[in-house]
């Protein structure tokens, strides 16, 4: 199945990088330094720290999109991370008293990326193994 196109997966993965870049900018300047969003309360250090991780994720997605078949394992890692984020976000929104629902929409967007990654990966001929277990190339 190596002949199936992964072009749409690469585009979705790069779009995920754009989304994470937007998140990084918000954490740097709106939540961290600018303090325009302060609910939930977060120390500026931690928001800038989180923003730096978002930039790393974005960089990983941008560069992986250029050779998506080779870096399919990166997609699996991002799927796991996005699932963890979405579950944690909605558990907190639903069950932690006075936790703000400020970022509910980010859970929806991240869920859409998870679905897109999985659909485009499987339509492109990748398997769960390709996504979640690194392929060791023999030399």
Residue 33 has pLDDT above 70, yes or no: no
Euclidean distance between CA atoms 96 and 54, whole angstroms: 25
What pLDDT is recorded for position 18? Answer: 97
Helices 104-123 & 72-95 angle (0-180, nearest 10)? 150
What pLDDT is recorded for position 102? Answer: 81
What pLDDT is recorded for position 95? Answer: 93
What pLDDT is recorded for position 1? Answer: 45
| CA 73 vs CA 14, 23, 83, 96, 131: distances in Å | 15, 23, 15, 34, 5
What pLDDT is recorded for position 36? Answer: 59
Euclidean distance between CA atoms 54 and 72, whole angstroms: 19
For the segment 85-135, what is each residue's pLDDT rounded down to a tens digit? 999 999 999 998 888 788 899 999 999 999 999 999 999 999 999 999 977
Q: What is the pTM of this model?
A: 0.85
What pLDDT is recorded for position 71? Answer: 92
For the segment 47-80, what is each residue's pLDDT rounded down to a tens digit? 888 899 999 999 999 999 999 999 999 999 999 9
């Amino acid at each position: 199945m190596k002949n199936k196109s992964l072009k749409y997966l690469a585009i979705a993965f790069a779009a995920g990088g754009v989304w994470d870049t937007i998140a990084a900018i918000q954490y740097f300047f709106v939540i961290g330094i600018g303090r325009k969003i302060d609910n939930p309360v977060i120390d500026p250090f931690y928001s800038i720290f989180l923003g730096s991780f978002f930039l790393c994720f974005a960089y990983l997605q941008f560069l992986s999109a250029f050779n998506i078949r080779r870096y399919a394992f990166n997609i699996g890692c991002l799927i796991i991370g996005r699932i963890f984020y979405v579950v944690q976000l909605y558990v907190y929104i639903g069950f932690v008293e006075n936790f703000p629902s400020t970022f509910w929409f980010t859970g929806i967007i991240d869920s859409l990326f998870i679905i897109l990654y999985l659909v485009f990966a499987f339509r492109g001929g990748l398997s769960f193994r390709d996504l979640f277990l690194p392929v060791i190339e023999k030399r």
